[in-house]
């Protein structure tokens, strides 16, 4: 791919019904590496990522997590995504959210433009819709009647929609997708050519307005189909000038059709220029298993970054899987690559060279003639050309070949046996090599690269500085080890399983109104309470509670208390209890936790609302440190609350009493 003046790379914008998974981290890390490489070449680069927030999945997820304010949910999720990208050292130039006013306006303007051009019309639609893909499916797209990506049966939908005349662009698209660099890699291009050749139908591009999304500008009863809205992010998130240069969209193979067919047709319709390349990377499995949010084994990229280091995760993902092909992620092979290629190959090279320089040239290593044999092994052009072709793995492989040549050179030349000029020549060549290696690995492992620069006592370099023999000399500052070896853990654990501690969000605390109170037939101190837990729960919930000494029956009726709803059911003296209420006691007095102004069934939260576990046990609850403070309840310094109010105690109690 020839570089024009500017370079613009994008990731798909991600749905916010979950946090980042290792799958979305993969695309984003790859885009970050590509952007960083182009910045190294001093190209004016823009890297855009962001979130696809207008999907019906957002509404569903927000409701499941107890949010009433969907925008608040979107804002909370956006914070989560941004935090994860920060942790993974993602250096984006723009972060687009499709609920932003700017995006909405631009998407609507494009829609109107296409409409005026005569490319959009109103009609009836009857079809099979997959909410996972947010797409109408043809019978032939399904496998045994199910969506192959989500393993769900699409819903039959009959509605009036706006349509986009995709069919009109068939010929133009066919010549476009046949262009060599437009769809990469090649096998993906062939899939799309076959798809376009099979004939394109017009597509439905609006859905009935459900109160969430972008309205069709001239018809408020309809919203833009979420893909039609989402694809415009590549325009709304960036300055126009970046569309004049190289434009690369990185996508997963499951969504390449939208990018290689729908998107160019939308751009042709409004007379915009087209992207340079749609690059589809493969899918990867984790320990041989498909990653899927809905299948429940999605894994958290920050877990690996925290455990092994961000650089190790970034390096591993690119080195393990040829970019563009499917692959497998496993913690075992991540550890092996960390130990062999990072700790041994790169780490040892840096430490051996710096130790030799430190031992022999404390006062400075002078520029000397280079060792011709070693420098002939470095081919920057080759590495750069792999990067331009988005062959990220090959670029790393080439760099590693050179790292290993340097290690071999040390073994062969045995500099510790040399002295004077001869020693200086080898060490200068090797130190220069380490400096260049630090530049070459910097897009992949920014932290390690910085650490090497610090020890060499040099500023971080650009691609133009990847010439051996550039430095006048070195005054090094030998420092810490780059990569520590990972010791083998004794009992081999299931590596995908995240050993998570049970936390606040696992508990399903709800506002519940007391509807009825009865004495327990077999116990003096117990009541049987009947609770209304909101419309979503048609049946009342029955619980047994030991508050008889503290509350009269008539004082309890109508009270909005807090129920732990997902507690394992128990039979207490012959009567079933389907949860427990929350209270604090100082031994003499007992106070219930209440939320008098809140809706029955509303979830209690502290900040973000995650899905609760199906069932928790009483011993889990006993470990949860909920404490009284100022007449309210705190968990890790945050007050428990509903949408409307903070949870309060209905009697005055002292601070720091544990909720039980």
CB of 334 to ligand MSP, least distance (A): 15
Quick count: other Cβ atoms within 10 Å of Cβ 126? 10
Measure the CA dihedral 617/619/623/629, to 10°. 80
Pattern 242-281, ligand MSP, x by CB under 6 A: ---------xx-xx--------------------------
Measure the CA dihedral 445/447/448/453, to 10°. 120
Distance CA 633, CA 511 (A): 14
Residue in 34, 74, 147, 230 binding ligand MSP, rule: CB under 6 A: 230
Under the binding rule (CB under 6 A), the answer on residue 32 touching ligand MSP is: no
Contact 20, 83 (CB under 8 A): no
- Written in H, E and C, the secondary structure of 618-642 is HHHHHHCCCEEECCEEEECCEECEC
CB of 256 to ligand MSP, least distance (A): 9
Under the binding rule (CB under 6 A), the answer on residue 648 touching ligand MSP is: no
Task: Supply 528's token pair.
Answer: 């049987």
Q: Which residue has the tokens 């999945």?
A: 57
CB of 23 to ligand MSP, least distance (A): 3
- 10 Å CB burial of residue 585 (0-12, 13-18, 19+) is middle
Under the binding rule (CB under 6 A), the answer on residue 321 touching ligand MSP is: no
Nearer to ligand MSP, 182 or 225 (CB): 225
Under the binding rule (CB under 6 A), the answer on residue 212 touching ligand MSP is: no
Residue in 30, 49, 52, 261 binding ligand MSP, rule: CB under 6 A: 52
Distance CA 604, CA 617 (A): 18
Interface segment toward ligand MSP; rule CB under 6 A; list 227-235, 434-442, 490-498, 523-531: 227-235
Residue in 7, 8, 9, 14 binding ligand MSP, rule: CB under 6 A: 14
Contact 98, 78 (CB under 8 A): no
- 10 Å CB burial of residue 260 (0-12, 13-18, 19+) is buried
CB of 288 to ligand MSP, least distance (A): 12
Under the binding rule (CB under 6 A), the answer on residue 9 touching ligand MSP is: no
Q: How far is the first Cα of the chain from the last one, in angstroms, to the nearest whole number? A: 64
Contact 604, 509 (CB under 8 A): yes
CB of 10 to ligand MSP, least distance (A): 8
Helix, strand, coil shares, percent, the chain, to 5: 40, 20, 40
Under the binding rule (CB under 6 A), the answer on residue 600 touching ligand MSP is: no
Under the binding rule (CB under 6 A), the answer on residue 12 touching ligand MSP is: yes
Would you put residue 144 in left (φ > 0), alpha (ψ -120 to 50) or beta? left
Residue in 6, 25, 27, 458 binding ligand MSP, rule: CB under 6 A: 27
Pattern 283-302, ligand MSP, x by CB under 6 A: xx------x-----------
Closest chain position to ligand MSP (CB)? 252
CB of 473 to ligand MSP, least distance (A): 46
Nearer to ligand MSP, 255 or 305 (CB): 255
Under the binding rule (CB under 6 A), the answer on residue 47 touching ligand MSP is: no
135-137 β-sheet, strand order:
135-137, 120-130, 155-164, 203-204
Distance CA 392, CA 72 (A): 38
Residue 204: how many CA atoms within 13 Å on its side-chain side?
A: 22
Nearer to ligand MSP, 151 or 348 (CB): 151
Applying the rule CB under 6 A, the residues between 352 and 381 that interact with ligand MSP are none
Contact 227, 133 (CB under 8 A): no
Nearer to ligand MSP, 91 or 254 (CB): 254
Under the binding rule (CB under 6 A), the answer on residue 84 touching ligand MSP is: no
CB of 254 to ligand MSP, least distance (A): 5
CB of 601 to ligand MSP, least distance (A): 30
Distance of CA 252 to the CA centre of its chain: 14
Nearer to ligand MSP, 14 or 129 (CB): 14
Q: Which residue has the tokens 């969430």?
A: 212
CB of 157 to ligand MSP, least distance (A): 20
Under the binding rule (CB under 6 A), the answer on residue 23 touching ligand MSP is: yes
Nearer to ligand MSP, 216 or 251 (CB): 251
Nearer to ligand MSP, 53 or 532 (CB): 53
Applying the rule CB under 6 A, the residues between 376 and 415 that interact with ligand MSP are none
Residues engaged in binding ligand MSP (CB under 6 A): 12-15, 23-24, 26-27, 52, 230-231, 233, 251-252, 254-255, 283-284, 291
């Amino acid at each position: 791919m020839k570089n024009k003046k500017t370079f613009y790379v994008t990731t798909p914008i991600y749905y916010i019904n979950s946090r980042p998974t290792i799958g979305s981290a993969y695309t984003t890390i790859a885009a970050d590496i590509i952007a960083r490489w182009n910045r190294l070449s001093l190209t004016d680069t823009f890297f855009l990522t962001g979130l696809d927030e207008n999907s019906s999945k957002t509404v569903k997820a927000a409701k499941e997590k107890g949010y009433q304010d969907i925008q608040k949910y979107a804002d909370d999720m956006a914070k989560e995504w941004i935090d994860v990208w920060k942790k993974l050292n993602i250096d984006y130039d723009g972060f687009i959210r499709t609920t932003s006013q700017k995006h909405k306006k631009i998407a609507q303007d494009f829609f109107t433009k296409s409409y005026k051009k005569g490319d959009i019309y109103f009609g009836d639609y009857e079809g099979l819709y997959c909410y996972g893909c947010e797409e109408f499916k043809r019978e032939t797209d399904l496998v045994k009647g199910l969506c192959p990506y989500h393993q769900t049966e699409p819903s039959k939908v009959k509605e009036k929609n706006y349509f986009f005349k995709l069919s009109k662009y068939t010929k133009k698209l066919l010549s476009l997708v046949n262009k060599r660099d437009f769809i990469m890699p090649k096998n993906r291009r062939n899939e799309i050519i076959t798809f376009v050749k099979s004939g394109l139908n017009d597509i439905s591009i609006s859905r009935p307005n459900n109160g969430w999304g972008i309205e069709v500008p001239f018809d408020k009863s309809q919203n833009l189909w979420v893909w039609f809205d989402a694809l415009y992010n590549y325009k709304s998130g960036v300055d126009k000038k970046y569309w004049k240069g190289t434009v690369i969209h990185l996508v997963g193979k499951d969504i390449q059709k939208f990018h290689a067919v729908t998107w160019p047709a939308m751009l042709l319709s409004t007379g915009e220029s087209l992207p340079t390349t749609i690059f589809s990377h493969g899918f990867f499995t984790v320990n041989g298993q498909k990653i899927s949010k809905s299948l429940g084994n999605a894994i958290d990229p920050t877990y690996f970054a925290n455990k092994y280091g961000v650089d190790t995760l970034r390096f591993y993902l690119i080195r393990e899987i040829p970019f563009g092909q499917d692959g497998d992620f496993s913690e075992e092979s991540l550890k092996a690559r960390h130990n062999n290629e990072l700790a041994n190959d790169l780490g040892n090279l840096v430490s051996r060279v710096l130790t030799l320089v430190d031992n022999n040239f404390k006062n400075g290593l002078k520029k000397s003639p280079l060792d011709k044999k070693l420098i002939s092994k470095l081919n920057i052009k080759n590495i750069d050309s792999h990067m331009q072709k988005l062959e990220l793995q090959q670029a790393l492989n080439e760099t590693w070949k050179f790292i290993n040549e340097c290690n071999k050179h040390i073994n062969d030349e045995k500099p510790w046996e040399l002295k004077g000029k001869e020693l200086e020549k080898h060490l200068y060549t090797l130190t220069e090599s380490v400096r260049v290696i630090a530049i070459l690995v910097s897009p992949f492992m920014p932290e390690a690269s910085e650490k090497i620069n610090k020890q060499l006592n040099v500023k971080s370099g650009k691609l133009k500085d990847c010439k051996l023999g550039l430095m006048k000399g070195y005054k090094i500052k030998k420092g810490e080890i780059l990569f520590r070896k990972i010791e083998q853990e004794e009992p081999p654990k299931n590596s995908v399983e995240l050993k998570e501690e049970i936390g606040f969000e696992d508990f399903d605390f709800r506002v519940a109104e007391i509807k009825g109170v009865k004495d327990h037939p077999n116990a003096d101190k117990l009541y049987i309470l009947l609770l209304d837990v909101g419309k979503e729960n048609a049946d009342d919930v029955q619980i047994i509670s030991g508050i008889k000494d503290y509350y009269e029956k008539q004082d309890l009726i109508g009270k909005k208390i807090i129920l732990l709803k997902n507690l394992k059911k128990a039979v207490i003296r012959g009567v079933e209890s389907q949860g427990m209420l929350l209270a604090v006691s100082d031994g003499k007095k007992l106070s219930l936790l209440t939320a008098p102004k809140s809706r029955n069934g509303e979830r209690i939260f502290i900040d973000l609302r995650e899905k609760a576990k199906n069932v928790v046990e009483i011993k889990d609850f006993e470990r949860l440190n909920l404490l009284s403070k100022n007449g309210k309840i705190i968990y890790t310094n945050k007050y428990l609350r509903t949408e409307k109010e903070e949870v309060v105690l209905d009697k005055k109690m002292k601070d720091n009493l544990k909720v039980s």
